[in-house]
Amino acid sequence: MDRTTAGHRRPVTTTAHPSERLNLMIRRSLLALGAMATLGIPVAQAADFVPYTPEALAAAQKAGKPILVEISAPWCPICKTQKPILSKLGMDPRFKDLQVFDVDFDSQKPALKTLNARMQSTLIAFKGEKEVGRSIGETQPEWIEGLVEKAL
């Protein structure tokens, strides 16, 4: 029996063009997300990553939010190692309310003074207005996760 007559509408091919396979995967993913939303299944919410301003930090602190301040520089290899760890943690439902502020080490010197930070790759956790933890140069995912958990 031919595969085209076994209930398939069109022949099954294994040599689809890569862009066709990608389009099919994207369509299936969007369809699945749509179905999840329709059925009320929660779709992962991410932490809120925003550029630092003194006003934004003060507002988040006043609101009692869990906060992580990330002091980084584009040339810093440790910062580059920290970023994907923070992104992954940001997708964890436990940290959906986390507010992450990114401070640029090179261009935001007044913020460094305000936060008493002397180095790039510094992570500072706040629970509302209270600083609950700080690390410098940490790249172990479980240690960074522990720091972020202190802000909850």
pLDDT at 143 (0 to 100): 96
Model confidence at 12, pLDDT cuts 50, 70, 90, reads very low
Ramachandran class of 116: left when φ > 0, alpha when ψ lies in -120 to 50, beta otherwise? left
Tens digit of each residue's pLDDT (9 = 90 or more) over 17-65: 555 655 555 555 555 555 444 454 444 456 778 899 999 999 999 999 9
pLDDT above 90 coverage of the chain, percent: 65
The pLDDT of residue 24 is: 52
Distance CA 79, CA 90 (A): 16
What backbone torsions phi and psi does residue 136 show, to the nearest 5 degrees?
-130, 120
SS3 150: helix
Catalogue all structural domains in the chain, each as residue range(s) with its CATH number.
Answer: 3-38 (no CATH), 48-150 (3.40.30.10)
